[in-house]
A and B are shown apart, each in its own frame.
Chain A
C-alpha cells in the first residue's frame, strides 16, 4: 500500500501477516504488520484463536468441576491456576486452610513458577536461534514433571488443589525429590547464565528492544515479571501477602530498562528466589492434616464416608449437588507466573457458579504489543513476543 508519512513523503509499505500458525507465536497469536523495508511501521494484533469458552463451560458444572478447566488456562504452570481459583473460593467462604496445606501449596506454587519461567526462557532462546539453552532448561523441568507425576498423577494438567485443601498429601520421599530438583535447577541456571550473560548475539538482539516505560506499563495494566522488568516493585506475594509469603526470606526482583533482556533476566532471577522460598518451605513442612474438616466445603475422606453416616451424606451431597458458595460478588487476584491472575466470581448461592470471569495476565501484555514493536525490525518482534511469554490458553480462555 502507498502511504504519505507524517512529513509528507511517499512510502510504499508492504503488509505482512504473522501467525496464527508461526513458530514464534507460541500457540496461536496473529499480528498484521505494515513493513517499510524491514522496519515495522504499524502493527495490529488479533486474538481469539484459542477461545475455548472457559467462562461458558464453567457455568454448567459444579464448583469443584471448575478446577480442571483452570488447568488449561496457563498450561505451563497448571497448579498455580488451581490454587489461585481455590484461594478465591476459600476467601468467599472465609475459611483458613491448615498449616501443612499452606506450606505444600507454597512449594508446588514456586515449583510451578520455576517450570513456567523455564519454558518461557527456553522458548525465547529457541526463537532467537539458540537450541542449547532449550535443552539445558528442559532438564530440571522434566525432573519437576516427574515430581508432579508422583504427586498428582499427571504431567502437565494436574488439578492438584481442591477447594479447602489438596487432592492428596505428599508422598514419602517428596522432600528428597524436591531437593534434587532444586539442585538441578540451580545447575541449569548456572549453565543458562553461562550461555547468555556474555553472549554477544543474544545481547545484541535483546538489549534495548521492546522498551516500555513504567507509566505506560501501568496504564496497560501489566503485572508480574514484565512490569517488574520496567522497574516497578509490585508483587502480590509482598503487597497483599497470602500463605505467609511475607515471612519467607526473599526479594522482589526488579529490572531497570524494561526491555526484552530485562524481562528474561528478571525471570531467571525469579527462579533463584523461588528456589530460596522452596528450600525454606521444606523446612517448615510439619506433619498435619491437609484438608479442612467441613463437609460443606471439602468432601469428607473415604474413611469417614465408610464408617460414619454423616460422612456418607456429606460425601454424597458434596459430589452430587456441589458445594454451596455464599451468595455475592468477589474479586481475588493471585500472583501467578505471568502476573496477576484474577477471578471475578459471582455466586447465587447455588451449587453451580453463576459467572466466573478470568483476568488473564497475558491479555494486557499482548494488548501493548504494537507499542513495543512499532519502529523496530521485524526480527525483533520475535524477541519481544517470546519475552512477554504469551500463553494462548489464558489469553483467549
Chain B
C-alpha cells in the first residue's frame, strides 16, 4: 500500500483536500472536527501504520502573499516505523475567531509537549489537552511570540521563577496518589511571588 492510496482512503472518509503548496510529499488538509478520527485512522487502521508523530508545527499566514482563508494552520508530520520512508502530513486550518483544535495527545505521547509549544507560540488552543501551559516562554509572558504581528524585539521581564509544585501535585494525582497536605512552598505570599529575587 502506498501513501497515495492512503491519501485516497482519507479523501473518501474524511473529505480531506490535497495541499497544493506541498510539491514534494503528501499533505492532507483536514477539517478540525475530523482531525482526531483521521489521526486515529492513520495510526491504527490504514495499511501503513503511521505510528510515530514526528512534528507539530504552527503556521501564521498573516503576511503570506496572496493567502486566502483562515489565518493559522497547524501541521502534523507522521512517519511509519514498519515501512521506512513512508511519511504523510496533515494540516488543520484554524481561523482567528475560533482558535480551537482537538488534541491528539491521547494517541501519541509526545503530542503533549508539541501542542503545548504551539499553544505557547501561536495561541492555538487544543481542546481536551490535559495540561495546556506555556512550554518555552515564561509564566508571565503576554502574547504569542511567533505570530507575525508580535514584534521580535519586544522583551518581557520575568520577576521570579514559577514553583512548578501545582504540576507536581497533578502528576502525583495521575499516578494514583492523593494530596492531603500541600507543601509549604505552594502557599507563597502573592507579593513575594511577584517580587521575586530581583528587587528594586
Interface residues, chain A, with chain B CB atoms under 8 Å away: 1-6, 10-11, 13, 15, 17, 30, 32-34, 41-44, 46-48, 51, 53, 55-57, 59-60, 91-92, 216, 218-221, 232, 234, 238-240, 326-331, 333, 340, 342, 344, 346, 348-350, 354-355, 357, 359, 363-364, 367-368, 370, 374, 396-397
Given A32-B168, A218-B51, 16 new contacts (CB under 8 A)? A1-B169, A1-B181, A3-B177, A4-B178, A5-B176, A33-B168, A42-B172, A44-B164, A44-B168, A53-B145, A55-B121, A91-B24, A219-B52, A221-B110, A238-B84, A349-B65
Interface residues, chain B, with chain A CB atoms under 8 Å away: 19, 21-25, 27, 51-55, 57-60, 64-65, 75, 77, 81, 84-85, 87, 89, 108-110, 112-114, 121, 134-138, 145-146, 152, 162, 164-165, 167-172, 175-183, 185
Residues of B within 8 A of A331 (CB): 25, 54-55, 77, 87, 89
- Distance between B30 CB and nearest chain A CB, rounded to angstroms: 15
- With A3-B178, A51-B137, A357-B55 as contacts: A329 and B27 at CB distance below 8 Å: yes
- Distance between A369 CB and nearest chain B CB, rounded to angstroms: 11
Q: Name the one of B22, B53, B165 contacting A15, with C-beta atoms under 8 angstroms.
A: B165
- With A44-B164, A219-B110, A357-B55 as contacts: A1 and B175 at CB distance below 8 Å: no
Closest to B51 in A: A218
- In the complex, A92→B21 CA distance in Å? 12
Residues of A within 8 A of B60 (CB): 355
- In the complex, A326→B22 CA distance in Å? 11
- In the complex, A330→B25 CA distance in Å? 8
- Distance between B67 CB and nearest chain A CB, rounded to angstroms: 9
Residues of B within 8 A of A60 (CB): 152
B52 touches A56 (CB 8 A): no
A216 touches B175 (CB 8 A): no
B24 touches A328 (CB 8 A): yes
B176 touches A6 (CB 8 A): yes
A220 touches B110 (CB 8 A): yes
Q: Name the one of B84, B172, B176 contacting A34, with C-beta atoms under 8 angstroms.
A: B172
- In the complex, A5→B176 CA distance in Å? 7
